[in-house]
Amino acid sequence: MSKEKKSKFITRDILKSSILGAFKKLNPRYMIKNPVMFVVEIGFVVTLLLCFFPGLFGDEGANLVLYNAIVSVILLITVLFANFAEAVAEGRGKAQAESLKKTQKDMQARILSEDGAESIVSASTLKKGDVVLVKVGELIPNDGEVIEGIASVDESAITGESAPVLKESGGDFSSVTGGTTVVSDWLKVRIMSNPGESFLDKMIALVEGASRKKTPNEIALNTLLVSLTIIFLIVIVTLYPIAVYSGVRLQISTLVALTVCLIPTTIGGLLSAIGIAGMDRVTRFNVIAMSGKAVEVCGDVDTMILDKTGTITYGNRMAAKFIPVGSTGEQDLIHYSVVSSIKDDTPEGKSVVELGERLSGKHQEAITGMEFLEFTAQTRMSGVDLPDGTKIRKGAYDAIQKYVQELGGTIPGDLEARVNEVAKLGGTPLVVSVGNRILGIIYLKDTIKAGLVERFARLRAIGIKTIMCTGDNPLTAATIAQEAGVDSFIAECKPEDKIQAIKVEQAEGKIVAMTGDGTNDAPALAQANVGIAMNSGTQAAKEAANMIDLDSDPTKILDVVEIGKQLLITRGSLTTFSIANDVAKYFAIIPAMFMAVIPQLGVLNIMGLSTPYSAILSALIFNAIIIPLLIPLAMKGVKYRPMRAEKMLSRNMLIYGLGGIAAPFVGIKLIDLLITPLLAALGM
């Protein structure tokens, strides 16, 4: 995740807005959306009433008024801490949204009428289908498709990348984003979105959390927390008559304290913050998720479908070796290969010259009067004609073979075997001829991106299957797949083959992720559970996907899956920790409630807490302060380690399960030691 934007966990502005937000969220209409914390707020109201009306439920005594007041304050702090956690997560998103809003200036647009006449209008009045002309130095007023012209566009306001991107009509690089700047030439753009519906508008709304909805997993977990809360409420309500029957007088505030300590308040207070922070982490990694569900689904991905060129390999084939055939010497092959490539400005041609000069130790100048023939799809070869009539050609095996035979030449007996050897290695064989004689082969190699082999091994370790899609022949595809370490491949792949591969995996109940940038990728992006479109790609691809990578780096899908995994692991780990906490709180409060009447329960006072009051208040205070202590973990996420699900579950149960039990024993005891003298001074 090397491209992730680094930022402070919390700035002064975020802290200020979060504190204010924590109080604003006390509104019951907002709190009821979080049932667990709503119960805590009701508990605060009940204990607050008992401060002013101590005999309301039959509880009397000066000490009880003070006790009720302390419980009331701790419950208020608990709710505020939970609200603060969510406000911090939202504050980080809003801070980023503000930086995006700076690109939304009151822009002017040069709109073109059907007869070609220009008129200046406000960009906010543009609607889908309008055609605008954008000249050098001007901002593109809204999202659209280039229909005429070619120009460099500065997208740094959106992507953070300083290098301009070439945009032109047709192809996979015709999509432009509102708020970016034309830095050369001009573009005629057809607007593809109405006001308020642009890509930038959607980004701002999502980052701010304004359109964030609870994900299916969040809803399921929330249902579990509500169920646990209801169960504990039923238990505590029935506890009161049982206590009366046993001769124990329980204060209402003590029952409220027991309720708050036993219901899963820790995860209840952090659940929204974890979800918001998950989307925030993806956004800071320069990927825009169209919903929280998209981020969450990434954590459940079973299969990843990746293009070969530009994703697994760099895409630029470079000369790696010269292979002479027949009786040709290596130096002759190198010499003629370099001469044929001297005026070839393609990356392949330049690499041939560079490798040839390095191996021969000679620098080759262009020969005066030589005529260069560019590669075409029809001839599938390039080369040079020298002034003395010598014709040097380099190209595809079958094209050169046919060319030489037409000139009356013969094919070396070892040529086909050498060509197949190169193909088996995953390379491209470029055959070189002089006149009607074939000299040998230039081995062009498409290099695997650094670190990908290890990344695929990590994905395999957590049970994710990788499938490479390529237009190469099966022989070449198999070699590249083996070298990269992917699990399987689809050779000579067409757009419909990708869709079929996705459907096959989904039919087996698997969650599938894929990347794409072209219009022909749109159906597959829509079919996949997680579709990541490149920002440099077409509008169709971006509309079909549920994530957009602003950096247009196809390998980003690997990182996004890890972020999704981290989100699920964080939520699961903190849920485990929260529920485990309740075990220790049970040993703090239950003995304190009944020891006076049933001394035998003193054996459960494992922590050796001083008094019933100190035991209950210590448990409440710990319950409150554990929420802000866990906010950094909720924001940053539990560290992700690639491993099998069973091993990961065992590890997290050990750390967060046992840790969740042990932490309250230590924390409650320390708090008890601190507050006992204070309570004694207050006569409690």
Show which residues are catalytic.
Answer: 307
CA dist 319 and 299 (Å) reads: 40
| 521 assigned to a ligand binding site | yes
| 378 assigned to a ligand binding site | yes
Q: Which residues of 604-636 are buried (b: 16+ CB within 10 A; e: fewer)?
A: ebebebbbbbbbbbbbbbbbbbbbbebbebbbe
CA dist 48 and 45 (Å) reads: 5
Spatial neighbors of 364 by CB under 8 A, at least 6 apart, are 335, 338, 339, 342, 353, 356, 357
Segment 350-356 long-range contacts (CB within 8 Å, at least 24 positions apart): 351/317, 351/318, 351/319, 351/444, 352/319, 352/394, 352/430, 352/442, 354/319, 355/318, 355/319, 355/320, 355/322, 356/319, 356/322
Q: Summarize the chain as % helix, strand, coil (round to 5).
A: 55, 15, 30
Spatial neighbors of 651 by CB under 8 A, at least 6 apart, are 641, 643
**What number of other Cβ atoms are within 10 A of residue 405's Cβ?**
12
Using alpha carbons only, what angle is made at residue 112 by residues 107 and 116, rounded to the nearest 5 degrees?
155
CA dist 574 and 268 (Å) reads: 10
| 377 assigned to a ligand binding site | yes
| 376 assigned to a ligand binding site | yes
- Residue 42 sits at φ, ψ, to 5 deg, of -65, -40
- Compute the Cα dihedral for 272, 275, 278, 284 and give only its sign: negative
Q: How far is CA 222 from CA 234, 467, 508, in A?
A: 18, 35, 29
CA dist 275 and 214 (Å) reads: 8
| 344 assigned to a ligand binding site | yes
**601: Cα separation from own chain's centroid:** 51
Provide the residue type at 60 as one letter.
E
**603: Cα separation from own chain's centroid:** 50
| 375 assigned to a ligand binding site | yes
| 394 assigned to a ligand binding site | yes
The string of DSSP codes covering 342-407 is TT--SHHHHHHHHHHHHHH--PPPPPTT-EEE---TTT-EEEEE-TTS-EEEEE-HHHHHHHHHHT
| 379 assigned to a ligand binding site | yes
Enumerate the known binding-site residues: 344, 348, 375-382, 394, 517, 521
Enumerate the known binding-site residues for ATP: 344, 348, 375-382, 394
Enumerate the known binding-site residues for Mg(2+): 517, 521
